Amino acid sequence: MRWTIDRTEDGGLSPGPARRVAVTVAVSWVISVLWTSMGAAGRSFAAVYDVGPGRAMATPNDVPWERLQPGDRVRIHRRAEPYRCKWVLCCRGTAEQPIVVEGVADAKGRWPVISGREATTRVALDFWGEERGVVKIGGANRPADREPAHIVLRRLEIRDALPEYVFFGRRGIARYRRNAAAVFVEKGRWIVIEECTLTNCGNGLFVGPQSADVVVQGCRIYGNGIGGSIYEHNVYTECDRITFQGNWLGPLRPGCRGNNLKDRSAGLVVRYNWIEGGNRQLDLVEPEEGGHLLARPYYRRTHVYGNVLVERDGDGNDQMVHYGGDNGDEDTYRKGRLLFYHNTVVSLRRGRTTAFRLSTNAESVDCVNNVFWCASNDGRLALLESAGHVRLLRNWLPEGTSASSERLRGSVIGRETCLWGRRPGFTGQGAMAWRLARNSPCVDAGYPLPSTLQGAFAVTHEFRLPAGVRPRRFVGRPDLGAFEFSDVTVSTGMRRGTDAGDHDE
């Protein structure tokens, strides 16, 4: 499957003639949904391993992880107590027959829980980095070390990898490191992590620079981090092509100062997510160990669209999105374009909020069809901290929005294309309060997206609770923000603007 990016001669958002650059991206929506549908259809697997009460395999430690083959499926059934097991996946499926590790819910729809607290490992496995995660992908002595590929991990709650917890490893009792993750992808290609809950760890998800072509979709990732530390996050990734879609990324553990989603990847796509809390909601900076990522043709273009970003009062930094770098070596900074469109950006902070911090004047944001709103009466919005360039095209902005929070060293253009007001017209009720009401000035107010943001990067879906997506139905001109107004919710027939309508089918 190939995604294509239309670049104009200056790399910008002009809808005029474009030269076409084909970029192979192995993490498309179509591929990941196809894998899911194949599993749901019950296609033929080489082997099915059922784990749980009353089954031949009582715990995940009974699964022969060391010899999984293409098409194998491991089904872990819910039980009342967590499974206190940890393992490594160092196996290779194929595109037609991925290896699937999945949870099976109980009658109440609850997924099985995998806890790293006092967890044990199957004796046939021997892998390094045990202290870095509960479920690890890649990097082992037994089975033999190789690049994992075509693996699907889904419908599991994976938790409890903190320094105060112990596990039983290959050298006896050990403790987790501060940066331990619920899922630690040391290396692998064509990895899908979907509908998982990752919580109560240093990092919820950690993906290392030897990895490529990763999709994270429909997950709930929250309650991670280390108290007082800025170095652990809900999500921390450095990857060659990675897509986040339809995830609910919630607040970190109390007292933790990390970011919600921190990424150092090339080929990053963040779409249709709800991202709430953290020092910053998005911290998108340069590779730290993956120097090869700097040479990728897609390193300097990042797509962020269809998301809800919520800044809570008192959550660390007043900047919501950081794009550029943080190691001091500006030669490695992203120095490209952040394509930021059809997002709903809400600040609940008292006092000033800064939408974007760009590290240098070589970074820029193309900001199209978004809604920005500060809920507090004394809330003030600045588009930039000081450096970088923002090109605005038809956003809704609060009255009094300033170009920058400090002395402007970059530029903000296109303010005349935007709508300005006191309130954008949200429904203001229910779990999805940031949807548009019928009388919102943001309804039918958007501009058609330019050719650079069509094709693989067109807005086709919107977030739905508790995690996931549903089709976005455009009628007439597009609405501003992450949601399209409709008199009825998609698929349910329920009227919009009620608690029932704001919950999902």
Per-residue pLDDT tens for 137-163? 999 999 999 999 999 999 999 999 999
- Write out the residue range of the structural domain in which residue 182 sits: 26-217
Give the CB-side neighbour count of residue 222, counting CA atoms within 13 A. 13
Within a domain: 246 = no
Residue 86 has pLDDT above 70, yes or no: yes
Distance CA 417, CA 415 (A): 5
pLDDT at 454: 86
Give the distance between the most distant pair of CA atoms in the chain. Answer: 68
Q: How far is CA 27 from CA 254, 398, 414, in A?
A: 33, 36, 33
pLDDT at 430: 73
Terminal alpha carbon distance of the chain: 30
C-alpha triplet 119, 120, 123: angle, nearest 5°: 165
Within a domain: 327 = yes
Q: What is the mean pLDDT of residues 294-313?
A: 96
Q: What is the mean pLDDT of residues 367-390?
A: 92
Distance CA 114, CA 350 (A): 39
Number of domains in the chain: 2
Within a domain: 263 = no
Within a domain: 225 = no
Of 216, 209, 262, nearest to 243 by C-alpha is 216
Q: Do residues 304 and 338 touch, judged by C-beta distance below 8 A?
A: yes
284: its two tokens? 């998108």
Mean pLDDT of the chain: 88
Place of tokens 């170009």: 403
pLDDT at 205: 98
Is there a single domain that holds both residue 203 and residue 316? no
Is there a single domain that holds both residue 307 and residue 167? no
Q: Say if pTM beats, i.e. exceeds, 0.85.
A: yes
Is there a single domain that holds both residue 382 and residue 493? yes
Within a domain: 503 = yes
Tens-digit pLDDT profile for residues 96-129: 999 999 999 999 999 999 999 999 999 999 999 9
Residue 26 has pLDDT above 90, yes or no: no
CA 83 to chain centre: 26
pLDDT at 487: 58
Last residue of a domain, one of 184, 217, 250: 217
Within a domain: 439 = yes
Is there a single domain that holds both residue 434 and residue 305? yes
Q: Which residues pair with 57 in a beta bridge?
A: 51
Distance CA 329, CA 313 (A): 32
Is there a single domain that holds both residue 283 and residue 157? no
Is there a single domain that holds both residue 276 and residue 213? no
Is there a single domain that holds both residue 332 and residue 202? no
Is there a single domain that holds both residue 209 and residue 306? no
Is there a single domain that holds both residue 198 and residue 283? no
Tens-digit pLDDT profile for residues 340-374: 999 999 999 988 999 999 999 999 999 999 999 99
Last residue of a domain, one of 199, 217, 235: 217
Is there a single domain that holds both residue 203 and residue 298? no
Within a domain: 164 = yes
pLDDT at 376: 81
Tens-digit pLDDT profile for residues 391-432: 999 999 999 999 999 999 999 999 999 999 999 999 987 778
Last residue of a domain, one of 192, 217, 242: 217
Is there a single domain that holds both residue 60 and residue 197? yes
pLDDT at 128: 96
Is there a single domain that holds both residue 206 and residue 277? no
Residue 220 has pLDDT above 50, yes or no: yes
